[in-house]
Amino acid sequence: MQDSVIPAAGAPFSTFLYVLIPLLPFLGFLLNGLLNRKLSATVAGAISSLAVLGSFLISVMLFWEFLHPSAQWIAPGATAHQAYTVQLFDWISVGSMQIPFSYQIDQLSLIMLLLVTGVGFLIHIYSIGYMAHDENVGKFFSFLNLFVFSMLVLVLGSNFLILFIGWEGVGLCSYLLIGFWNTNTSYNNAAKKAFIINRVGDLGFLLGIFLIYLTFNSVQFGEVFQKASLGQFGPYGVGVVTFITLLLFVGATGKSAQLPLYTWLPDAMAGPTPVSALIHAATMVTAGIYMILRANVLFTLAPHTLEVIAIIGAATALFAATIGLAQNDIKKVLAYSTVSQLGYMFLALGVMGYSTSLFHVLTHAFFKALMFLGAGSVIHAMSNEQDMRRMGGLRKALPITFITFLVGCLAIAGIPPFAGFFSKDEILLHAFEHSKVLYAVGLFTAFLTAFYMFRLLFLTFFGEFRGTEEQKHHLHESPASMTLPLIVLAILAAVGGFMNAPFFLGEENAYLSNYLAPIFTYSQKLNPAAFGAEVDHGTELMLIGLSVGAGVLGIIFAYVMYVSRGVRPAEEGAPRGFLDNLVYHKYYIDELYNALLVRPIMWLSRGLYRFVENGIIDPIVNGFGRVTLGGGQLLRAVQTGSVETYLILMVVSIVLIMALNFGKF
């Protein structure tokens, strides 16, 4: 992986092209931000959509050039599939710490570029319809563009610190967009919570970067990974990589909502639905996976960390899926499903199914964005009702939404030939090679996933309408700007799986893993066994059968319960069994964190202020003043005012001094 560097001498235009990718959305952000409220919803939406479209087109062009280099002015001297870095300017340079602002163009960043700008563009189009009636639509689009900008910096950065810029930037945009409707205090709290929990992860990430710098004396991807693969750990031994990767993984758990830092993501559903689709399903939350893929060499060197990642991933997948079973808010179900699917991706990373993990990132982006947008369409039609207990029978009123949503559900449930089937199946296959327990957890989660997703589908689109008369009156299919992205995403969710076909469709058709292979060259060299292991085709077919079976079983269960028997979720105050109650209240994790962390810190804040600051430190300082004053009070009694006393004292003192000094005689 010899990275060439551009700009080569005399190719300024190509650099400009690379700058333009994140710059276009940034310009959209500035334009919409400065002209907020002066532009109509359509114009504002058009500006930001065009900005993202521009980035998308440039990305496509770069991608094409990457595969078939022809135009010398884009990447001079590059051969096909050759990674290179683009130097923009020196950002921070202190002594031996040299951090350039530069881009990494390779298989991984290009595919993420396409994902971010492609799905991002669809969601921008969707937002034009969805946010049309909001008074702050300009602000919305400017934030959305700022998000795309940050995300692009994140995936383009060629060192850990540039990645960190994007990492924090998307966190900020997430904060701004979750709290978009800022009159609502609980929305604002959700936004703040998201930012702060992400910051907890960011601290881990930052400490990881410090350790990387101290170990490799660089934070540049190429240099770090090369040194790591050659076993050059500076002053440390190979054990340091375990610490580095654990710290990086802490960062990933924050951003990608894994145990124990996942609690912000369900709350983040306070934001407008396109935001949930773009940020909290398709792109930002997968940043953690992107980062681990980026640093796959380090993770390969740290098998213990991988073990931790696999366990946390599987645990999160199962844990979030069980919570998803009992949620009644349509977006909350999707949120927990996202957490659960992210758990799958981490499980894949943990068992070294690196390209599989990215495969699931892509398919998940398609079907989860689709389902969020579909949910948005439902919410839009239901006049902002999100509770599934108030829905039902919507398939007649919203046919396009229903069909596309169904595609999404089939995809996530792992029904062939939809996209989720291929990626989830690969994950389970890798898990099976690694550990039967992890596989069993994954399989059971697949069953739960199918169940709760179809529970959502049936409760929303089947049965009788349970909302108010007024809502029923307003029911309507969404405008074309909203249904069009749904259709495109549904097509992607339906056929997206074929980009990495399993063996029985021909080995050479596993396009994605073949394409990504160069990213994992070092890892493969370090641990060939993990990449070489193959189960025989018979077992693989059996596993496929099992996972499809689990999915189908889940769907049947859901059908029997919610369509045949017509079960309805209990209302808010209804009595619940112990387990039901536990799951309904999300295992009381939020309450637990409140009691263990938030309240003690609040209490500490007040306690320190009252008892330490104003009770100990300040009184001590003031005490010096008091002692001085008190001393003065005491001593002033000596001043009697009588001249005789003064004189006597004076003479006596003089005599005493003389006596003491000359007393030796």
Partner 1 sequence: MDQNIPQVIQTVPLEYYVFFAATLFSIGVLGVLTRRNAIIIFMCVELMLNAVNVLLTAFSAFRADPNGQVFVFFIMAVAAAEVAVGLAIIVMIYRNLQSTDVNLLNRLKF
Partner 2 sequence: MLTVLLLLWPVVAALLLHFFKGKAARVAAFGAALVEFLLAAYAALLFNANNSGQFSFNYAWVASAGINFHLGMDGLSLSLVLLTTLLVPIILLSAFRRNFENESVFYALVLFMQTGLIGVFTAQDAFLFYFMWEVALIPIYFLAGVWGGTERARVTFKFFLYTIIGSLFMLAGFVYLYFQTGPSPDGLSAHNSALTSFYNINLPVETQLWVFWLIFAAFAVKMPIFPFHTWQPDTYTESPAPASMLLAGIMLKMGIYGCMRWLLPVVPLGVDYWQNLVLILAVIGIIYGAIIAIRQHDVKRLIAYSSLSHVGLMIAGVFSLTQLGMQGASIQMLAHGINVVGLFFIADAIERRTGTRNIADLGGLTRKAPALTVCFLVLLLGTVALPLTNGFVGEFLLLAGVYEHNAWLGAVAGITIILSAVYLLRMFQRVMLGPDSAYSATFTDLTSGEIAVLVPLIVLVFWIGIFPNFFLHLSEGSVLGILGEVVKR
> Which residue type occupies 454?
F
The verdict on 651 binding partner 1 (CB under 8 A) reads yes
- How many binding residues for partner 2 (CB under 8 A)? 51
| Interacting partner of 639 out of partner 1, partner 2, none (Cβ under 5 to 8 A depending on kind) | partner 1
Nearest-10 Cα torsion for 312, 315, 316, 322: -170
Q: Rounded to the nearest whole angstrom, what is the least distance from the CB of residue 482 to partner 2 in the complex? A: 28
Structure tokens at 548: 């499809």
- Do the beta carbons of residue 346 and residue 309 sit within 8 Å? yes
Q: According to CB under 8 A, which one of 642, 663, 664, 665 is a site residue for partner 1?
A: 642
Q: According to CB under 8 A, which one of 532, 538, 644, 661 is a site residue for partner 1?
A: 644
Q: In 3-state terms, what secondary structure has residue 469?
A: helix
- Do the beta carbons of residue 308 and residue 203 sit within 8 Å? no
Q: Rounded to the nearest whole angstrom, what is the least distance from the CB of residue 595 to partner 1 in the complex? A: 59
> Between residues 545 and 630, which has the closer beta carbon with respect to partner 1?
630
Q: In 3-state terms, what secondary structure has residue 98?
A: strand
Structure tokens at 57: 């087109």
- Do the beta carbons of residue 26 and residue 145 sit within 8 Å? yes
Angle between helices 185-216 and 221-229 (to 10 degrees): 50
User: Where does this chain touch partner 2 (CB under 8 A) — which range of 321-329, 406-414, 557-565, 608-616?
Assistant: 608-616
The verdict on 164 binding partner 2 (CB under 8 A) reads yes
> Which residue type occupies 619?
P
Q: Rounded to the nearest whole angstrom, what is the least distance from the CB of residue 640 to partner 1 in the complex? A: 6
Residue 569 CB: number of other CB atoms within 10 A? Answer: 15
Q: Rounded to the nearest whole angstrom, what is the least distance from the CB of residue 644 to partner 1 in the complex? A: 6
The verdict on 214 binding partner 2 (CB under 8 A) reads yes
Scan for tokens 């992107």, then name that residue: 290
| Interacting partner of 643 out of partner 2, partner 1, none (Cβ under 5 to 8 A depending on kind) | partner 1
Structure tokens at 515: 């394409």
| Interacting partner of 199 out of partner 1, partner 2, none (Cβ under 5 to 8 A depending on kind) | partner 2
356 phi/psi in degrees, rounded to 5? -60, -40
Q: According to CB under 8 A, which one of 538, 625, 641, 663 is a site residue for partner 2?
A: 625
Length of the chain as a residue count: 665
The verdict on 95 binding partner 2 (CB under 8 A) reads yes
The verdict on 636 binding partner 1 (CB under 8 A) reads yes
Bridge partners for 5 per DSSP: 85
Q: Rounded to the nearest whole angstrom, what is the least distance from the CB of residue 631 to partner 2 in the complex? A: 15
Q: According to CB under 8 A, which one of 601, 627, 650, 651 is a site residue for partner 2?
A: 601
Helices (H), 131-184: 137-156, 160-178
The verdict on 639 binding partner 1 (CB under 8 A) reads yes
The verdict on 471 binding partner 2 (CB under 8 A) reads no
Q: Which of 17, 12, 3 is nearest to 78 (CA)?
A: 3
Q: In 3-state terms, what secondary structure has residue 97?
A: strand
The verdict on 648 binding partner 1 (CB under 8 A) reads yes
Q: Rounded to the nearest whole angstrom, what is the least distance from the CB of residue 624 to partner 1 in the complex? A: 23
Helices (H), 68-136: 107-130
The verdict on 506 binding partner 2 (CB under 8 A) reads no
Q: Rounded to the nearest whole angstrom, what is the least distance from the CB of residue 214 to partner 2 in the complex? A: 6
- DSSP per position, 338-354: HHHHHHHHHHHHHTT-H
- Do the beta carbons of residue 79 and residue 69 sit within 8 Å? yes
The verdict on 35 binding partner 2 (CB under 8 A) reads no
Q: According to CB under 8 A, which one of 9, 94, 230, 643 is a site residue for partner 1?
A: 643
User: Where does this chain touch partner 2 (CB under 8 A) — which range of 175-183, 442-450, 459-467, 510-518?
Assistant: 175-183
Q: Rounded to the nearest whole angstrom, what is the least distance from the CB of residue 626 to partner 1 in the complex? A: 19
Bridge partners for 93 per DSSP: 98
Q: Which of 305, 201, 207 is nearest to 257 (CA)?
A: 201
> Between residues 511 and 609, which has the closer beta carbon with respect to partner 2?
609
> Between residues 465 and 593, which has the closer beta carbon with respect to partner 2?
593
The verdict on 546 binding partner 2 (CB under 8 A) reads no
The verdict on 646 binding partner 2 (CB under 8 A) reads no
- Do the beta carbons of residue 350 and residue 525 sit within 8 Å? no
> Between residues 30 and 652, which has the closer beta carbon with respect to partner 2?
30
Q: Rounded to the nearest whole angstrom, what is the least distance from the CB of residue 612 to partner 2 in the complex? A: 8
Distances (CA, A) of 66 to 109, 291, 440, 531: 11, 22, 40, 25
CA-to-CA distance for 164 and 168, rounded, in angstroms? 6
CA-to-CA distance for 339 and 321, rounded, in angstroms? 8
Binding flags for partner 1, 186-215, as an x/- string (CB under 8 A): ------------------------------
The verdict on 608 binding partner 2 (CB under 8 A) reads yes
Supply angle C-alpha 379, 382, 385, rounded to 5.
Answer: 65
The verdict on 637 binding partner 1 (CB under 8 A) reads yes
Q: Which of 255, 454, 266 is nearest to 345 (CA)?
A: 255
- Do the beta carbons of residue 15 and residue 86 sit within 8 Å? yes
The verdict on 662 binding partner 1 (CB under 8 A) reads no
Q: According to CB under 8 A, which one of 641, 659, 660, 662 is a site residue for partner 1?
A: 641
Q: Rounded to the nearest whole angstrom, what is the least distance from the CB of residue 647 to partner 1 in the complex? A: 6
CA-to-CA distance for 404 and 482, rounded, in angstroms? 12
The verdict on 612 binding partner 1 (CB under 8 A) reads no
The verdict on 596 binding partner 2 (CB under 8 A) reads no
* Residues engaged in binding partner 1 (CB under 8 A): 636-637, 639-644, 647-648, 651
* Residues engaged in binding partner 2 (CB under 8 A): 33, 36, 89-95, 97, 161, 164-165, 168-169, 172, 175, 179, 182-185, 188-189, 192, 195-196, 199-200, 202-203, 206-207, 210-211, 213-214, 601-602, 604-606, 608-609, 612-613, 617-618, 621-622, 625
